[in-house]
């Protein structure tokens, strides 16, 4: 291969690589923005994070009963809570493949640790949470 041709192929390769990296970073930023809306604890922002048909499922640790809560009910509870508890919250992992993603979020208060598992779908160019399951652990 001639030096000029090799240089041209190398330049094209790096351009494609940069474009791919930029696209991945852009998708991750958009998915994180959706999760940050949820993590804000602010009613309208939480509502924006979820698709209207989303679900929330969990097992009540007190009773062992499986719960399936419509997301509108959960959002109404968030909006009614005018004083959110002191907590630390962080995204532990975020995996994106095409138009699907999942995330693991840790929430810790003085009395409890919760792990949220969010499934997300890119709908009309915007990331939305379509299902939430979680685990709650009471601190001793």
The C-alpha atoms of residue 22 and residue 16 are separated, in whole angstroms, by: 10
In three-state form (DSSP H/G/I as H, E/B as E, the rest C), the secondary structure along 52-113 is EEEEEEEECCCCCCEEEEEHHHHHHHHHHCCCCCCCEEEEEEEEEECCEEEEEEEEECCCEE
pLDDT at 21: 47
In tens, the pLDDT along 2-53 reads: 666 666 556 555 455 455 444 457 889 999 999 999 999 999 999 999 999 9
Structural domains in the chain plus CATH codes: 3-138 (3.10.450.50)
pLDDT at 1: 58
In tens, the pLDDT along 101-132 reads: 999 999 999 999 999 999 999 999 999 999 99
């Amino acid at each position: 291969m001639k030096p000029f041709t090799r240089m041209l192929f190398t330049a094209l390769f790096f351009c494609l690589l940069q474009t791919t990296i930029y696209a991945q970073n852009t998708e991750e930023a958009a998915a994180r923005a959706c999760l940050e809306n949820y993590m804000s604890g602010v009613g309208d922002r939480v509502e924006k994070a979820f698709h209207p048909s989303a679900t929330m499922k969990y097992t009540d640790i007190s009773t062992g009963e499986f719960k399936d809560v419509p997301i509108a009910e959960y959002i109404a509870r968030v909006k009614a809570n005018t004083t959110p508890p002191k907590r630390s919250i962080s995204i532990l992992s975020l995996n994106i493949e095409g138009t699907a993603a999942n995330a693991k979020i840790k929430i810790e208060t003085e009395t409890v640790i919760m792990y949220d598992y969010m499934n997300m779908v890119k709908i009309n160019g915007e990331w939305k949470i379509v299902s939430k399951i979680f685990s709650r652990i009471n601190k001793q």
